[in-house]
Structure 1
Amino acid sequence: MRLNEVSFSDVKPIDGYGPGFFRVGGEAIEGAVCVGPNGVRAWGGFDDSASLIELVDQVDVLFIGTGGETAHVPAALRDPLEEAGLGVEAMNSPAAARTYNVLISEGRRVAVALLPV
């Protein structure tokens, strides 16, 4: 078996999660979080589209983790993001974190906004 080392360059991978928190780049962060090319920051949840629209020129796709279960992203959040030209994919937060990690390891331009599980 051959193992290859993955390099995350300047972006931080999501190392883990638990009830109400995420561990990103070795640091535990409570509550909803947005991780992307500008680093890690708190996210205001479905009511906070402004902070996500800031990513429009930096990423091609934004993954939205909807918590422990997959849910639809409310139109009040999805519509402004798509109108700004940001591709949005919703999935449960564990799947969004895994997908984000795989794509950043490939050097893709992605970000993720996660609601806690």
Structure 2
Amino acid sequence: MRLNEVVYTDAQPIEGYGPGFFRIGGEKHAAPLLTGYKGTAPWGGYDDADPLLALEGAVDVLFIGTGDDIAHIPSGLRTVLEARGFGVEAMSSPAACRTYNVLLSEGRRVALALLPTG
């Protein structure tokens, strides 16, 4: 069996998470947060579309982690993001972390907005 080392280029993978935080690049970050090729920064949640829109043209898919359970994001936010050309995928935050890491390891242009887990 041949093993290949995974190399992440422009962004860092999610290393772990717990109640109210995510570990990225060896650092613990309070949620909600936004991470991707521009680094990791706080995010104001569903009412804070501006940081997401700032990624326009730089990412193909935006994953939105909705906390412990899968939930629909507000239709107004989805409409604004899709109108600007984003592929938007909402899923539970743990699933979003795993999916983000896989696509990031493939060199895909992805970003991740996360709500906390309980």
TM over 0.5, yes or no?
Answer: yes
Map of 2:10 onto structure 1: 10
Counterparts in 2 of 1:63-82, with a 5 A limit?
63-82=63-82
CA offsets 1:6-45 (integer angstroms, 9 cap, x no match): 0002311100000000001111001211111111111111
Shift of 1:3: 2.7
Shift of 1:79: 1.1
Shift of 1:103: 0.4
Larger mean CA deviation between 102-111 and 2-11 belongs to 2-11
Asked whether the equivalents of residues 71 and 91 of structure 1 are also in contact (C-alpha less than 8 Å), the reply is yes
Asked whether the equivalents of residues 48 and 77 of structure 1 are also in contact (C-alpha less than 8 Å), the reply is no
CA offsets 1:57-79 (integer angstroms, 9 cap, x no match): 10000000000000001112111
Asked whether the equivalents of residues 46 and 77 of structure 1 are also in contact (C-alpha less than 8 Å), the reply is yes
Cα distance in 2, alignment partners of residues 115 and 5 from structure 1: 30
Verify: 1:109 aligned to 2:109, yes or no.
yes
Provide the aligned length of Structure 1 versus Structure 2: 117
Cα distance in 1, alignment partners of residues 109 and 13 from structure 2: 13
AA partner of residue 111 (structure 1): A
Map of 2:61 onto structure 1: 61
Normalising by structure 1, report the TM-score: 0.96
Map of 1:84 onto structure 2: 84
Shift of 1:85: 1.0
The unaligned stretches of length 5 or more in structure 2 are: none
The unaligned stretches of length 5 or more in structure 1 are: none
Aligned with 2:99: secondary structure? helix
AA partner of residue 76 (structure 1): G
Shift of 1:2: 3.6
